[in-house]
Protein backbone atom coordinates (compact mmCIF):
# COMPACT_ATOMS: atom_id res chain seq x y z
CA UNK A 1 0.00 0.00 0.00
CA UNK A 2 2.86 2.38 0.74
CA UNK A 3 4.34 1.71 -2.72
CA UNK A 4 1.02 2.49 -4.47
CA UNK A 5 0.58 5.80 -2.64
CA UNK A 6 4.18 6.79 -3.42
CA UNK A 7 3.59 6.06 -7.13
CA UNK A 8 0.41 8.16 -7.13
CA UNK A 9 2.19 11.06 -5.49
CA UNK A 10 5.04 11.00 -8.01
CA UNK A 11 2.76 10.65 -11.04
CA UNK A 12 0.53 13.47 -9.79
CA UNK A 13 3.44 15.91 -9.83
CA UNK A 14 4.64 15.19 -13.38
CA UNK A 15 4.80 18.34 -15.52
CA UNK A 16 6.32 18.51 -19.00
CA UNK A 17 7.62 14.94 -18.71
CA UNK A 18 9.43 15.44 -15.39
CA UNK A 19 8.39 15.66 -11.80
CA UNK A 20 9.88 19.15 -11.46
CA UNK A 21 7.16 21.80 -11.57
CA UNK A 22 9.65 24.37 -12.88
CA UNK A 23 11.22 22.16 -15.56
CA UNK A 24 10.45 24.61 -18.36
CA UNK A 25 9.68 28.03 -16.89
CA UNK A 26 8.47 30.65 -19.35
CA UNK A 27 10.85 33.49 -20.15
CA UNK A 28 10.88 36.52 -22.40
CA UNK A 29 12.85 36.32 -25.65
CA UNK A 30 13.11 38.74 -28.55
CA UNK A 31 11.92 37.48 -31.94
CA UNK A 32 12.93 39.20 -35.16
CA UNK A 33 10.06 39.72 -37.63
CA UNK A 34 9.63 41.46 -40.98
CA UNK A 35 9.80 45.25 -41.08
CA UNK A 36 6.46 46.96 -40.32
CA UNK A 37 4.80 43.65 -39.35
CA UNK A 38 5.28 43.81 -35.58
CA UNK A 39 1.62 44.54 -34.76
CA UNK A 40 0.34 41.92 -37.23
CA UNK A 41 2.62 39.29 -35.72
CA UNK A 42 1.43 40.25 -32.22
CA UNK A 43 -2.19 39.81 -33.35
CA UNK A 44 -1.39 36.33 -34.76
CA UNK A 45 0.37 35.37 -31.52
CA UNK A 46 -2.62 36.60 -29.50
CA UNK A 47 -4.89 34.31 -31.56
CA UNK A 48 -2.50 31.42 -30.86
CA UNK A 49 -2.61 32.19 -27.13
CA UNK A 50 1.10 33.08 -26.92
CA UNK A 51 2.01 35.94 -24.57
CA UNK A 52 3.79 38.73 -26.44
CA UNK A 53 4.68 42.40 -26.18
CA UNK A 54 5.37 45.00 -28.86
CA UNK A 55 6.73 48.22 -27.32
CA UNK A 56 4.81 51.15 -28.81
CA UNK A 57 4.64 54.84 -28.01
CA UNK A 58 1.66 57.01 -29.02
CA UNK A 59 2.55 59.93 -31.29
CA UNK A 60 0.53 62.59 -33.03
CA UNK A 61 1.31 63.08 -36.71
CA UNK A 62 0.40 66.28 -38.53
CA UNK A 63 -0.55 66.45 -42.18
CA UNK A 64 -1.66 69.53 -44.05
CA UNK A 65 -5.34 68.63 -43.69
CA UNK A 66 -5.51 66.57 -40.48
CA UNK A 67 -3.87 65.21 -37.37
CA UNK A 68 -3.74 61.54 -36.48
CA UNK A 69 -2.60 59.74 -33.36
CA UNK A 70 -0.61 56.59 -34.10
CA UNK A 71 1.30 54.02 -32.06
CA UNK A 72 4.97 54.12 -33.13
CA UNK A 73 6.88 50.86 -32.67
CA UNK A 74 9.87 51.70 -30.47
CA UNK A 75 12.03 48.70 -31.44
CA UNK A 76 11.58 48.01 -35.17
CA UNK A 77 11.31 44.37 -36.26
CA UNK A 78 11.19 43.01 -32.68
CA UNK A 79 8.37 41.26 -30.84
CA UNK A 80 8.97 40.05 -27.29
CA UNK A 81 7.54 36.59 -26.73
CA UNK A 82 7.10 34.65 -23.47
CA UNK A 83 7.99 31.00 -24.09
CA UNK A 84 9.36 27.99 -22.29
CA UNK A 85 12.79 26.96 -23.51
CA UNK A 86 11.45 23.72 -24.98
CA UNK A 87 8.90 25.70 -27.09
CA UNK A 88 11.46 27.96 -28.76
CA UNK A 89 12.54 25.63 -31.57
CA UNK A 90 8.97 24.91 -32.64
CA UNK A 91 8.05 28.61 -32.37
CA UNK A 92 11.02 29.65 -34.53
CA UNK A 93 9.61 27.57 -37.39
CA UNK A 94 6.53 29.77 -37.72
CA UNK A 95 6.55 31.49 -41.11
CA UNK A 96 6.33 35.02 -39.70
CA UNK A 97 9.31 34.62 -37.30
CA UNK A 98 12.69 35.28 -38.94
CA UNK A 99 14.89 34.35 -35.99
CA UNK A 100 15.56 34.95 -32.29
CA UNK A 101 17.98 37.57 -31.06
CA UNK A 102 20.95 36.02 -29.25
CA UNK A 103 24.33 37.07 -27.97
CA UNK A 104 27.12 36.35 -30.47
CA UNK A 105 28.64 32.95 -29.76
CA UNK A 106 25.80 31.91 -27.47
CA UNK A 107 24.80 28.24 -27.39
CA UNK A 108 21.18 29.13 -26.67
CA UNK A 109 18.58 29.40 -29.40
CA UNK A 110 17.35 32.66 -27.85
CA UNK A 111 18.82 34.99 -25.23
CA UNK A 112 16.41 35.20 -22.27
CA UNK A 113 15.37 38.68 -21.14
CA UNK A 114 14.61 39.04 -17.42
CA UNK A 115 10.97 39.79 -16.53
CA UNK A 116 12.13 42.87 -14.61
CA UNK A 117 13.59 44.44 -17.77
CA UNK A 118 10.35 43.96 -19.72
CA UNK A 119 8.33 45.42 -16.81
CA UNK A 120 10.64 48.44 -16.60
CA UNK A 121 10.34 48.99 -20.37
CA UNK A 122 6.53 48.87 -20.12
CA UNK A 123 6.61 51.32 -17.21
CA UNK A 124 8.98 53.66 -19.06
CA UNK A 125 6.84 53.71 -22.19
CA UNK A 126 3.60 54.19 -20.24
CA UNK A 127 4.93 57.13 -18.19
CA UNK A 128 7.43 58.89 -20.45
CA UNK A 129 6.58 62.46 -21.38
CA UNK A 130 9.45 62.65 -23.89
CA UNK A 131 10.42 60.58 -26.92
CA UNK A 132 11.85 57.16 -25.99
CA UNK A 133 14.57 55.70 -28.18
CA UNK A 134 16.64 52.51 -28.20
CA UNK A 135 20.40 53.01 -28.04
CA UNK A 136 22.75 50.05 -28.40
CA UNK A 137 26.12 51.68 -27.70
CA UNK A 138 25.36 53.59 -24.50
CA UNK A 139 28.19 54.08 -22.00
CA UNK A 140 26.86 52.79 -18.72
CA UNK A 141 27.07 55.42 -15.97
CA UNK A 142 25.69 55.76 -12.47
CA UNK A 143 22.64 53.83 -11.37
CA UNK A 144 19.84 56.32 -10.72
CA UNK A 145 16.27 56.46 -9.43
CA UNK A 146 13.71 58.97 -10.68
CA UNK A 147 12.36 60.72 -7.58
CA UNK A 148 9.89 63.23 -9.07
CA UNK A 149 7.52 63.35 -11.98
CA UNK A 150 5.35 60.75 -13.71
CA UNK A 151 8.13 58.10 -13.74
CA UNK A 152 8.92 58.41 -10.02
CA UNK A 153 10.36 55.21 -8.58
CA UNK A 154 11.91 53.93 -11.83
CA UNK A 155 15.50 52.71 -11.42
CA UNK A 156 17.86 52.87 -14.36
CA UNK A 157 21.32 53.80 -15.50
CA UNK A 158 22.47 57.30 -16.31
CA UNK A 159 24.41 58.49 -19.32
CA UNK A 160 25.24 62.07 -20.27
CA UNK A 161 24.62 62.52 -23.96
CA UNK A 162 24.47 65.68 -26.06
CA UNK A 163 25.76 68.55 -23.92
CA UNK A 164 25.33 66.90 -20.49
CA UNK A 165 21.63 66.26 -21.04
CA UNK A 166 20.79 63.39 -18.63
CA UNK A 167 19.34 60.27 -20.17
CA UNK A 168 17.86 57.41 -18.11
CA UNK A 169 18.34 54.04 -19.72
CA UNK A 170 16.66 50.71 -19.04
CA UNK A 171 18.78 47.79 -20.18
CA UNK A 172 17.17 45.13 -22.38
CA UNK A 173 19.47 42.11 -22.73
CA UNK A 174 20.59 41.47 -26.28
CA UNK A 175 19.08 44.68 -27.68
CA UNK A 176 20.57 47.66 -25.89
CA UNK A 177 18.88 50.37 -23.83
CA UNK A 178 15.50 52.12 -23.86
CA UNK A 179 16.37 55.76 -23.20
CA UNK A 180 14.39 58.82 -22.15
CA UNK A 181 15.48 62.34 -21.26
CA UNK A 182 14.84 63.36 -17.63
CA UNK A 183 15.46 66.64 -15.80
CA UNK A 184 18.44 66.51 -13.42
CA UNK A 185 16.35 67.67 -10.46
CA UNK A 186 14.19 64.55 -10.86
CA UNK A 187 17.15 62.16 -10.37
CA UNK A 188 19.01 60.80 -7.37
CA UNK A 189 22.09 58.55 -7.52
CA UNK A 190 21.56 55.22 -5.75
In a domain, 4, yes or no: no
Question: Which pTM value belongs to this model?
Answer: 0.65
Please indicate, yes or no, whether residues 164 and 143 belong to a single structural domain of this protein. yes
Please indicate, yes or no, whether residues 81 and 48 belong to a single structural domain of this protein. yes
Per-residue pLDDT tens digits for 159-188: 554 555 666 777 777 777 777 777 655 655
Longest CA pairwise span in the chain (Å)? 82
Q: How many distinct structural domains can be found in the chain? A: 2
Please indicate, yes or no, whether residues 103 and 31 belong to a single structural domain of this protein. yes
Please indicate, yes or no, whether residues 103 and 148 belong to a single structural domain of this protein. no
143 forms bridges with which residues in the sheet?
157
Domain assignment of residue 81, given as a range: 22-113
Per-residue pLDDT tens digits for 51-67: 999 999 888 888 888 88
Domain edge (last residue) among 113, 143, 170? 113
Amino acid sequence: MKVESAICQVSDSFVNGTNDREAYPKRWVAALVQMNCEKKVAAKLDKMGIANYVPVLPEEHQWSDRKKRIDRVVIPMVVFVRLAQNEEDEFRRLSFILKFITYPGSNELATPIPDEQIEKLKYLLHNADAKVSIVDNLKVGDKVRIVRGPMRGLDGELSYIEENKPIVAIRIDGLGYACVSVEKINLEVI
